[in-house]
A and B are shown apart, each in its own frame.
Chain A
Amino acid sequence: MILEYSPWLCWIIPYIGAILSLLFNKIHHKLRDCCALTSSFLSAIFSTLIIFAYPNVLKGEAYHSIPTLSIKWIDAPNVTLKAGLLIDPLSVFMANVVAWISFLIMLYSIGYMEGDKGIVRYWFFMNLFIGNMLLLVLSDNFIQMMFGWEGVGLCSYALIGYWYEDDEKEKHIKWVGEGLEEYAPSHCGMKAFITTRIGDIGLLLAIFIIFSQSGTFNIIELGKDLNWASKLSNMGLLLPTALLFLLGPIGKSAQFPLMEWLPDAMAGPASVSALIHAATMVKAGVYLIARVFPIFYILMHSGFIELKIFFMSIALIGAITAFISATQASVSNEIKKVWAYSTVSQIGYMMLSLGIAGYLIGDAMIAAYVAALFHLLSHALFKANLFLTSGSVIHSCESRFMRDMGGLLKLMPITSISMLIGVLALLGIPPLLGFWSKEGILKAIEYGIYEYSELSLIFIIAAITAIITVFYSLRAYILTFIKEKSGRVKELEHHIHEVKPVMWIPYIILALAIIALGFSVPFGLEHKLHHTFGDMLNHYLMKVSEHKEVVTTQSYLPILASILAISIGSIISYTIYLKKGNNLFESLKNKRTILIIQKFFSNRWYINRFWYAITNKLLVLSKLIHDKFELPIVDGFNYYLANFVTFISNRVRGIHTGVLSDYMIGATLGMVALIIFLIILLGG
Chain B
Amino acid sequence: MIEYLLILALLLPLICSPLPYLLGGKKGGLLSFLILLISTLSIGYLLIQYYLNPNREPFIVWYNWAPDLGLTFGLNGDGLGLFMSFTIAILALALSLYSIEYMEHEEDVGSYFTLYLLYSSGMIGCVLASDLIEFYLFFELMLIPSWALINQWGTGLREKVAFKYFIYTHVGALSLLIGILATGMLYGTFDLFRIQILLSKQFKPDIIISQIAAILMLIGLMVKLAIFPFHTWLPDAHAEAPTPISALLSPAMIGIGGYGILRFVYGSYPHIITNFSSILIFQSLFTMIYGGLMALKQNDLKRLLAYSSISQMGYILFGIAANSPLAIVGSMLHYFSHATCKAMLFMVSGIFMHQINVRDIDKLGSLASKMPYTAIAMIIGFLGIAGTPPFNGFQSEWMIFSGALIYGSLDKQSIIVGLALLSTALTASYGLWTVKRVLFGSKYLNLDIKEADMLMIAPLILLILLTTVIGIYPQPLITPINSIIS
Contact of B394 (CB < 8 Å), options: A150, A187, A213: A150
B432–A164 contact, CB under 8 A? Answer: no
**Contact residues in B for A79 (Cβ distance below 8 Å):** 326, 402
Q: Is B392 an interface residue (CB 8 A)?
A: no
Residue interface mask B398-418, A partner, CB < 8 A = 1: 110111011000110110011
Q: A626 contacts B297, CB within 8 Å?
A: yes
| Contact residues in A for B411 (Cβ distance below 8 Å) | 235-237
CB pair A212–B406 under 8 Å, yes or no, is: yes
Contact A77 B329 (CB under 8 A): yes
* B473 and A194 contact, CB distance less than 8 A: no
A146 and B394 contacting across the interface, CB-CB below 8 Å = yes
Interface of B is mostly: helix
Q: Is the CB of A622 within 8 A of B432?
A: no
Q: Which of B390, B433, B482 is close to A76, meaning CB atoms less than 8 Å apart? A: B482
Q: How many Å lie between the Cα of A75 and that of B403 in the bound state?
A: 14
Does the CB pair A165–B445 fall under 8 Å? yes
Q: B354 near A: Cβ within 8 Å?
A: no
Mark contacts of B81-114 with chain A using CB atoms, 8 A cut-off: 1 yes-contact digit, 0 otherwise. 0000000000000000000000000000000000
> Which residues of chain B have C-beta atoms less than 8 A from A167's C-beta?
442
Partner of A77 from the list B231, B325, B383, B417 (CB cut-off 8 Å) is: B325
Query: Known interface pairs A208-B398, A212-B402. Does A164 touch B440 (Cβ–Cβ under 8 Å)?
Result: yes
A496 within 8 A of B: no
- A194 — which chain B residues lie within 8 A by C-beta? 425, 428-429, 432
Does A484 reach chain B (CB closer than 8 Å)? no
A78 within 8 A of B: yes
Contacts of B402 in A (CB 8 A): 79, 207-208, 211-212
> Please, which residues of chain B bring their CB within 8 A of the CB of A76?
325-326, 329-330, 399, 478, 482
Q: Which of A198-206, A361-369, A524-532 contacts B (4 or more CB under 8 A)?
A: A198-206
Q: How far is the CA of A371 from the CA of B139 in the complex (A)?
A: 65
Decide if A165 touches B366 in the complex (CB within 8 Å).
yes
Does residue A619 face the partner (Cβ distance < 8 Å to B)? yes
B274 close to A (CB within 8 Å): no
- Identify the closest chain A residue to B437 (Cβ): A186
A157-B432, A165-B445, A194-B429 in contact; A619/B366 too (CB < 8 A)? no
Given A76-B329, A151-B389, A212-B410: A201 and B418 interface contact (C-beta under 8 Å) = yes
Q: Within 8 Å CB of A208, what residues of B?
A: 398, 401-402, 405, 417
**At the interface, yes or no: B294 with Cβ under 8 Å from chain A?**
yes
Q: A190-B436, A623-B297 are in contact. Are A147 and B389 (CB under 8 A)?
A: yes
A164 partner, pick from B324, B417, B433, B439, beta carbons under 8 A = B439
Contacts of A201 in B (CB 8 A): 418, 421-422, 424-425
- Of residues 136 to 193 in A, which have CB atoms within 8 Å of B's CB atoms? 143, 146-147, 150-151, 153-154, 157, 161, 164-168, 184, 186-187, 190, 193
Which residues of chain A are near B399, meaning CB under 8 Å? 76
- Bound together, the chains give a CA A184 to CA B326 distance in angstroms of 42
Residues on A with beta carbons closer than 8 Å to the beta carbon of B425? 194, 197-198, 201
Q: Is A630 an interface residue, CB under 8 A from the partner?
A: yes
Within 442-486 of B, Cβ neighbours of A (below 8 Å) are at 442, 445, 473-475, 478-479, 482, 485
Given A150-B388, A184-B441 in contact, is the A74-B405 Cβ separation under 8 Å? no
Query: What's the tally of chain B residues with a CB closer than 8 Å to chain A?
Result: 61
A74 with B294, Cβ < 8 A, contacts A153-B388, A186-B436 known: no
A557 at the interface (CB under 8 A from B): no
Q: B405's closest neighbor in chain A, by CB?
A: A212
A77 touches B405 (CB 8 A): no
Question: What residues of chain A lie closer than 8 Å to B389, measured between beta carbons?
Answer: 146-147, 150-151
Interface 1/0 per residue, A629-642 and B, CB below 8 Å = 01000110110000
Chain A's nearest CB lies how many Å from the CB of B301? 16
- A75 touching B229, Cβ below 8 Å: no
Say whether B368 faces chain A, with CB atoms less than 8 Å apart. Answer: yes
Q: How far is the CA of A506 from the CA of B481 in the complex (A)?
A: 52
Q: Which of A74, A213, A236 has a CB less than 8 Å from the CB of B474? A: A74
Question: Nearest Cβ in chain B — how far from A190, in angstroms?
Answer: 5
Q: Is the CB of A638 within 8 A of B325?
A: no
Shortest beta-carbon distance, B256 to chain A, in Å? 22
> Interface on chain A toward B: helix, strand, loop, or mixed SS?
helix
* Given known contacts A146-B398, A184-B441, A211 and B405 CB-to-CB distance under 8 angstroms: yes
Q: A232–B425 Cα gap in the complex (Å)? A: 26
Within the assembled complex, what's the spacing in Å between the Cα atoms of A619 and B474? 36
- Shortest distance in angstroms between B106's beta carbon and chain A's nearest beta carbon? 29
Decide if B168 touches A75 in the complex (CB within 8 Å): no
Interface: B293 (CB within 8 A)? yes
The chain A residue sitting closest to B229, CB to CB, is A634
Which listed residue (B294, B386, B421) contacts A625, Cβ 8 A? B294
Neighbouring A residues of B482 by C-beta, 8 Å: 76-77
Determine the chain B residues whose CB is within 8 A of the CB of A77 once the complex forms: 325-326, 329, 482, 485
A237 and B398 contact, Cβ closer than 8 Å, known pairs A186-B441, A194-B429: no
Query: Could you say which residues of chain A place their CB within 8 Å of the CB of B170?
Result: none
Q: Which residues of A contact B290 (CB under 8 A)?
A: 625
A621 within 8 A of B: yes
What residues of A have a CB within 8 angstroms of the CB of B440 in the complex?
161, 164-166, 184, 186
Q: Cβ of A237 and Cβ of B410 under 8 Å apart?
A: yes
Q: Are A164 and B475 in contact (CB under 8 A)?
A: no
Least CB distance from B329 to A in Å reads 5
Q: Which chain A residue lies CB-closest to B415?
A: A205
* Given contact pairs A212-B406, A635-B232, A154 touches B388 in the complex (Cβ within 8 A): yes
Q: Chain A residues near B432: list those with CB within 8 A.
A: 157, 190, 193-194
- Whether A197 lies near B428 (C-beta < 8 A) is yes
- Say whether A73 faces chain B, with CB atoms less than 8 Å apart: yes
**Cβ distance B326 to chain A, nearest Cβ, rounded Å:** 4
Q: Mark A596-625, 1 if CB is under 8 A from B, else 0.
A: 000000000000000000000011011101
> B394 to nearest A CB, angstroms?
7
A449: Cβ under 8 A from any B Cβ: no
CB nearest neighbor in B for A186: B440
B12 interface contact, C-beta 8 A: no
Are A165 and B441 in touch, CB under 8 angstroms?
Answer: yes
Which of A73, A232, A619 sits near B475, CB closer than 8 Å?
A73
Instruction: Answer yes or no: B155 CB below 8 A from chain A CBs.
Output: no
In angstroms, Cα B413 to Cα A212, docked, is: 11
Return chain A residues, CB-CB under 8 Å to B424: 197, 201
Residues of B within 8 A of A168 (CB): 442
A197 to chain B minimum Cβ distance, whole angstroms, is: 5
Docked complex Cα distance between A37 and B337 (Å)? 34
| A209 at the binding interface (Cβ < 8 Å) | yes
Q: Do A147 and B410 touch (CB < 8 A)?
A: no
Is B296 part of the contact surface with A, judged by Cβ < 8 Å?
Answer: yes
Would you call A619 and B297 a contact (CB within 8 A)? Answer: yes
Nearest neighbor of B418 in chain A, beta-carbon distance: A205
Would you give the shortest CB distance from B131 to chain A, in whole angstroms?
A: 27
**B478 and A622 contacting across the interface, CB-CB below 8 Å:** no
Neighbouring B residues of A621 by C-beta, 8 Å: 293
Instruction: Return chain A residues, CB-CB under 8 Å to B386.
Output: 197
The residue in chain A whose Cβ has the minimal distance to the Cβ of B403 is: A78
For A496-514 the 0/1 string (1 means CB < 8 A from B) is 0000000000000000000
Most chain B beta carbons < 10 A, residue from A76, A153, A237: A76
Which residues from B are CB-within-8-Å of A244?
418
16 A-B residue pairs with Cβ-Cβ distance under 8 Å, sorted by A, are: A76-B325, A76-B326, A78-B403, A147-B390, A164-B439, A190-B433, A197-B425, A197-B428, A204-B421, A205-B421, A207-B402, A209-B410, A211-B402, A212-B413, A237-B414, A619-B297
Besides A79-B402, A193-B432, A619-B296, 10 other CB < 8 A contacts? Answer: A76-B325, A76-B399, A151-B390, A164-B441, A165-B369, A165-B440, A197-B425, A205-B421, A235-B411, A625-B290
Task: Give me the interface of B with A, judged by CB distance under 8 Å.
Answer: 164, 168, 228-229, 231-232, 290, 293-294, 296-297, 324-326, 329-330, 366, 368-369, 383, 386, 388-390, 394-395, 398-399, 401-403, 405-406, 410-411, 413-414, 417-418, 421-422, 424-425, 428-429, 432-433, 435-436, 439-442, 445, 473-475, 478-479, 482, 485
State the 5 A-B residue pairs at the shortest beta-carbon distance, nearest first. Answer: A77-B325, A186-B440, A212-B405, A78-B326, A208-B402
